[in-house]
Structure formats: structure tokens, C-alpha cells
Amino acid sequence: MLCLTLTGKDCTESISQYIQHKTSVQMVELRVDLLKCINKGQIQKLTEAISIPKILTCRRVRDGGSYFGSERARARLLNSLLDLGFSYIDIEEDVKRPDLEKTAHEYNVKIIRSFHDLEGVPKDLFTKIVKLRRRGDVAKVAVTPKSINDVLLLFKVKHELREIEDKVVIGMGDYGIPTRILYKLTGSLFTFCSPDGTPAASGHLSPEIMHGLYHADSVNDDTGIYGIIGNPVMHTSSPKIHNPAFRRIGLNAIYVPFLVDDVRGFFQLAELLSIKGFSVTVPHKQQVLPYLGKISREVKLIGSCNTVVRYNNLWKGMNTDFYGFLKPIQEELDAQRIRKAVVIGAGGAARSVVWALRNYYCKVVILNRTIEKAKKLALETGSEWGGLTDIDKMDHADLIVQTTSAGMPPLENVNPIETYQFSGRELVFDLVYKPKNTLFLEKAKLAGCKLIYGMDMLVAQGVLQFEAFTGFTYPQDL
Ligand code: ATR
């Protein structure tokens, strides 16, 4: 079940939030501590307006909430609201109020015993869950994983504590996002989300994302798990490429972002969850190489891998950036209209681009801020090199490819080759996809150049990844 935490400043706003999302959620949580003014009559109107199960919660500041009053006042407040038709009340681990528990049971309100750790994951997590369940009808832990190894621990709960069915395990913050989306794989009964723009806790996603994009509530034991690893990774658009396509072709699969600090820990998680394939982004494209049992020709050439699939019990590494880059310029390459290409940058992205172009026998000039790095890649690939001010080396370029992070926030006002005057006949390709129009592309456009956007490559490499993951052609209409 997906539980919507109502974040309205009053009950009227919270009722509107419920109405807006009622087709996506099966339960709501009223956080009394978020209401500006607590009025029993208003809360009664809310409980009468919402027919699905409701959780009553009044969260203290130290547990991530907004309630400042005394413990006695809090217990009194919760007690006074128990006759309003709630299905659950959230009572924290340390609270010893037998009177509150007694009233809850008199009104048939089940007790969620909760534990919060806003700093990390306690070493005795499993024992804690056992103890919480003993003292309530549902055990709930909301902790803060600080590494992928912490996330691994949270997913181990399902198997290790399989005899405890009534539990909720939540990882907060960016590391915890997969535990929210794949909540069923932590053995959780339900998970929380809150309206877009007002997250009630760190890492809360909106119902549009949890239900609309991920269909988190449809995950079952047969769901094929895919994902993307990176650091940072939460800005990624890849879930929007893969999840709608899985649904369009009727495949029971999900694609989830994993913030990963340690590739080794992720491979352990991949075994635990039987992950079938994943995309790899910065800074792990080289770090995954030692774990691969098989690599494609492109990975061998470039020395970096952006796609990993399970293949006969081995991990196979591929590089769809290579073909994703070529796709939007394939016609020009086939017609041999790209004889000379200039590549700006000499980082990981540039490696795929230079190798792909050299594979078509294009003459390549690499210009980079740090000349030594341009020289190294150039010597490896049989290219020429220079610095960003060596504009004369760009003469007669048929294609100019921008591969650096210039143009992307916080470098949105940077054009890495500011002094270059486009002739208007060059094909100009910027790998940056957010924003679509970089300063570099805008200048090229003014000169009349034909432009290729980073999104074209992102989509092309994503489509190839989808085909490597599933064996199916990417749905044309998407
Ligand atoms: P990626 O894998 O995305 O290519 P990377 O390997 O870190 O990331 O490479 C970043 C590239 O962007 C490098 O070519 C870098 O130039 P340096 O080698 O001199 O560091 C380039 N880059 C980053 N910031 C830049 C800036 N402000 N101006 C010009 N080039 C920049």
C-alpha cells in the first residue's frame, strides 16, 4: 500500500490533497504536528471525508517532525483524537503511555511502534524491529542510510525477519530512495509519499512518481529489477525512458535510481535483489570493470562501461554511449560528410565520442582545458590535440562536439570555446541535455549551424540499453 502523508497547513488543504491523489494511494497519514491550528471539529471533517485507512501521527522535532509541546500534552492530544475513526496511531519507541495504548485498543486503532534515526542506521536494527513489533501491531523503522552498504542491510530485513510480517522499513534521504520505491522488497507492508513540493520527510517522493512513474505498488516476486547507479544520480531522466516502455510492452519490470558510493556493495545488493541489468553513470563507468565477466568490443576500446546486464550468470558490460552518440549523426557519417571532427573535452564522455568517430575513420582534433589530458587521449586514439584557445586547429571542421560539463548548472554561463566564430556550415553537437539550449549551441544557431541536442544522444543510448536489458525493441510511439 502507498500511504499519502497529508502536508496541508489546515484540514481543508489536506482534504484537497487527498482528493487530488486518491486514485494513487490506499492509505493516508494525518501529521497533526504539521497543522497550523489543531481543531478537533476540523479533524473530524477530514476523517469523515477520507474513507480509506488513516494513520494518526504527531511527530516530535527530534524525530523529524514539527511538534514542540511537552510529552504529556502530546499524549493528551493524541488521546483526544482516537475516537475519530483512525485505523492506526503512530507511537514512538520510547513512549510509555499505557493509557494511550489502552484507549487506542478500545477504539480498534492499531499501534504502529516507530523508531527514527535521522543520522544513520543503528547497528542493532534487526533486534530493534523485533522489539518494536512486540510492543505494537506494526513495527516501523525510518533510518538514514549513509552508504549503499546501509541500503543492503535494509533490504536484508525481508529475508532475515520474514516471520515478522507487520513491519515498515524506510531508508530516508537519497540513499534510501530505492527502499521507498522497492518497499515490498524490504518486506514492508506500506510506504509513504507526500504531495509534490511538500515532502514530509527527506526522500519522500510524490504519488505521481511512486505510482505514476514507478507503479511501486505493483512490484511482486516476479518483477524484473533494473536501475541506474551513480553519484550523484537522483537528477537522472533514465527512469522516464525505461519505466513507461516496460509498461507499454507489458513487461513486469521496474527501473530505479541507486545512489552508490561503493560499487562492490552495489554488486552485493544486485545479487540479493536479483537485479537483471543496470545503467552506470559518473563516477562508476570505470569502477565497474573489475566485476564484469564479459565485455563488449566498445568497452574494451573505450575502457568505460555504461550498461551492465546479467548474462548466463555473468555480468556483461556494454557501452551504449558509443552507439547513442553515433545515432543522430549516422546519415552524415554514411554519406562521408564528416571528414574532420573537433571534440571539446577529454573526460569520460569524450572517450566514447572520440573512439566512435575514429571507428568511422574521421580525423579528430581534441581540445581540452588541461592539454595533457587531450594529448593522452589523442595519442591513444590517433587524434590531434590542443588547448581550448587553439582555435586555428578547428579550421574546416565538419562536426564540433561539446563533451564538457560547461553549459550545465552551475556552469550554465560558460561557453568552453568562447572565441571561436562558427562558419555556419559545421554540424554542432552538445552532449549537455539540461538545459537543452546551451550558450555554445545558441551561438552556433545564430551562425546558422545545424544543431544536435544532448537529449538525442541520451534517448538513443537509453533505447539501446532498453533493448540490451529486455531483448525487445523500444516502443516507437514513446
Ligand atoms: P565526463 O565523464 O562527464 O566527461 P569528466 O571525466 O570529469 O566528466 O570530464 C569533464 C570534462 O569537462 C573535462 O574535459 C574537463 O576539463 P579538464 O580535463 O581540464 O578538467 C571539462 N571541464 C569541466 N569544467 C570545465 C570548464 N569550466 N571549462 C572547460 N572545460 C571544463
pLDDT in tens, 130-163: 999 999 999 999 999 999 999 999 999 999 999 9
**Residue among 405, 408, 420 to mutate when testing ligand 1 (max atoms within 8 A of CB):** 405
Measured from the CA of 282, which atom of ligand 1 is nearest? 2
- Provide the CATH number for the domain around residue 450: 3.40.50.720
Nearest CA to ligand 1 atom 26: 406
Nearest CA to ligand 1 atom 12: 404
Instruction: Tell me: do 163 and 244 sit in the same domain.
Output: no
Q: How far is the CA of 3 from the centre of ligand 1 (A)?
A: 43
Give the per-residue pLDDT at 92: 98
Q: How far is the CA of 449 from the centre of ligand 1 (A)?
A: 24
Instruction: Tell me: do 56 and 163 sit in the same domain.
Output: yes
Instruction: Tell me: do 329 and 314 sit in the same domain.
Output: no
Nearest to 11 by CA among 372, 37, 273: 37
Using a 6 Å CB cutoff, which residues line ligand 1?
282, 345-350, 368-370, 373, 403-406, 411, 414, 416
- Could you tell me if residue 228 is inside a domain? no
Average pLDDT over residues 453-475: 97
Q: How many domains does the chain have?
A: 3
Measured from the CA of 350, which atom of ligand 1 is nearest? 4
- Could you tell me if residue 466 is inside a domain? no
**Residue among 404, 417, 433, 439 to mutate when testing ligand 1 (max atoms within 8 A of CB):** 404
Nearest to 325 by CA among 315, 312, 316, 338: 338
- Could you tell me if residue 224 is inside a domain? no
* Averaged confidence pLDDT in the chain: 97
Write down the residue that cell numbers 480498534 correspond to: 108
Give the per-residue pLDDT at 153: 98
CA distance 295 to 77: 62
Measured from the CA of 345, which atom of ligand 1 is nearest? 14
- Could you tell me if residue 187 is inside a domain? yes
Q: How far is the CA of 422 from the centre of ligand 1 (A)?
A: 22
| Cα 25 from chain centre | 21
Give the per-residue pLDDT at 385: 98
- Could you tell me if residue 80 is inside a domain? yes
Q: How far is the CA of 8 from the centre of ligand 1 (A)?
A: 44
Instruction: Tell me: do 384 and 357 sit in the same domain.
Output: yes
Instruction: Tell me: do 179 and 304 sit in the same domain.
Output: no
Instruction: Tell me: do 149 and 69 sit in the same domain.
Output: yes
Average pLDDT over residues 194-199: 94
Q: How far is the CA of 72 from the centre of ligand 1 (A)?
A: 57
What SS3 class is residue 24?
Answer: coil
Distances (CA, A) of 256 to 243, 327, 396: 9, 26, 44
Q: What is the DSSP string of 125-177?
A: HHHHHHHHHHTSSEEEEEE---SHHHHHHHHHHHHHTTT--SEEEEE-HHHHH
Query: pTM to 2 decimals?
Result: 0.93
- Could you tell me if residue 469 is inside a domain? no
Give the per-residue pLDDT at 119: 97
Give the per-residue pLDDT at 462: 96
CA distance 2 to 192: 6
pLDDT in tens, 23-64: 999 999 999 999 999 999 999 999 999 999 999 999 999 999
Query: Which is it for strands 384-386 and 363-367: parallel, antiparallel or unpaired?
Result: parallel
Distances (CA, A) of 131 to 95, 120, 184: 13, 19, 21
Instruction: Tell me: do 313 and 347 sit in the same domain.
Output: no
Give the per-residue pLDDT at 461: 96
Instruction: Tell me: do 67 and 128 sit in the same domain.
Output: yes
Which residues are part of the catalytic machinery?
285
Nearest CA to ligand 1 atom 31: 404
Distances (CA, A) of 435 to 119, 322, 324, 401, 427: 34, 22, 19, 16, 19
Nearest CA to ligand 1 atom 10: 347
Instruction: Tell me: do 309 and 343 sit in the same domain.
Output: no
Provide the domain limits for residue 258: 236-320
Give the per-residue pLDDT at 170: 98
- Could you tell me if residue 307 is inside a domain? yes
pLDDT in tens, 170-186: 999 999 999 999 999 99
The percentage of residues in the chain with a pLDDT greater than 90, rounded to a whole number, is 99
- Provide the CATH number for the domain around residue 58: 3.20.20.70
Measured from the CA of 404, which atom of ligand 1 is nearest? 12
Measured from the CA of 414, which atom of ligand 1 is nearest? 27
Q: Tell me which of 190, 219, 248 is where a domain ends.
A: 219
- Could you tell me if residue 299 is inside a domain? yes
**Residue among 305, 369, 438, 461 to mutate when testing ligand 1 (max atoms within 8 A of CB):** 369
Average pLDDT over residues 340-353: 96
Nearest CA to ligand 1 atom 29: 416
pLDDT in tens, 204-260: 999 999 999 999 999 999 999 999 999 999 989 999 999 999 999 999 999 999 999
Q: How far is the CA of 346 from the centre of ligand 1 (A)?
A: 7
- Using only C-alpha atoms, the chain has a radius of gyration, in whole angstroms, of 27
Q: How far is the CA of 430 from the centre of ligand 1 (A)?
A: 13
Q: How far is the CA of 412 from the centre of ligand 1 (A)?
A: 14
Measured from the CA of 373, which atom of ligand 1 is nearest? 18
Give the per-residue pLDDT at 416: 97
Instruction: Tell me: do 194 and 63 sit in the same domain.
Output: yes
288, 280 contact by CB (below 8 A): yes
Nearest CA to ligand 1 atom 13: 347
Instruction: Tell me: do 287 and 402 sit in the same domain.
Output: no
Give the per-residue pLDDT at 50: 98
295, 289 contact by CB (below 8 A): yes
Nearest CA to ligand 1 atom 25: 406
Which residues 6+ apart lie within 8 Å of 118 measured at CB?
63, 64, 144, 172
- Provide the CATH number for the domain around residue 250: 3.40.50.10860
DSSP code of residue 303? S
Instruction: Tell me: do 304 and 179 sit in the same domain.
Output: no
pLDDT in tens, 70-97: 999 999 999 999 999 999 999 999 999 9
CA distance 401 to 329: 11
Nearest CA to ligand 1 atom 9: 347
Give the per-residue pLDDT at 137: 98
Give the per-residue pLDDT at 225: 98
Q: Identify each DSSP E strand in 281-344 by its residue range.
A: 294-295, 307-311, 314-318, 340-344
Q: Tell me which of 320, 342, 371 is where a domain ends.
A: 320
Q: Tell me which of 193, 219, 245 is where a domain ends.
A: 219
